Amino acid sequence: MTIKLYCMGESGNAYKAALALELGGLDWEPIYVDFFGGETRSEEFRKINVMGEVPVMLDGDETFTQSGVMQIYVTEKTGKFGGETPVEQREVMRWLFWDNHKLSSQAGMTRFLMNFLPEEKRPAEVIGFMQGRLKAAYKTLDAHLEGRDWIVGNAITNADIACCGYLFYPEPFGFDRKDWPNIDRWLSNIESTPGWKHPYDLMPGSPADRA
């Protein structure tokens, strides 16, 4: 049965789920959600996800929300991306939690404020504060990747899929790969993984569609 992923190309969290599905080799299809048109706030969408956000994943009668849960589900179905040993499995989870709190949440908000709000409504002080927090997160990740090809172990895991969620997007939000050599090398490793696709190629919806 084909897994359905309610998503949009602009969502880094949706990208984490989509990339796990794609690299995991599962049969899935993306279903575009018009976030900017207010679809996630509609009563109909709330019947799918009471949290009113993407991504949402449907596999038969099961519904999953929150990208980390979807990544774990892909691991349950495929045996991939979860770590090879109990120690690695705990380390993968540690980085999933770190990403959710320190990296993706900050990057998602900053990117939205800088690119998807009218220019006159962009709060400069908030953006500056968030970029400072992001710089600290980049330092943590870049230092961890010194001498490593992957965040955990010797192959791509959910830790990598989560932490890269927003870092391939072209819109400015205070991240430039060339400033972080270890992150840049790591992102190149992800790009070289068979089946990898850019978020705007993997899921429907991009800023160009609204231009």
Q: pLDDT grade, residue 209 (50/70/90)?
A: confident
Domain 86-191 belongs in CATH node 1.10.1270.20 = no
Q: How do the domains of the chain map onto residue ranges?
A: 3-81+197-210, 86-191
Matching CATH number, 3-81+197-210, of 3.40.50.300, 3.40.30.10, 3.10.20.740, 3.40.190.290 = 3.40.30.10
The DSSP secondary structure of 68-94, one letter per residue, reads: HHHHHHHHHHHS-SS-SSHHHHHHHHH
pTM score, whole prediction: 0.97
**Structure-model confidence comparison of residues 209 and 132, the more confident one:** 132
* Residue 211 burial by Cβ neighbours in a 10 Å radius (0-12, 13-18, 19+): exposed
Is the model's pLDDT at 181 over the cut of 90? yes
pLDDT of residue 210: 76
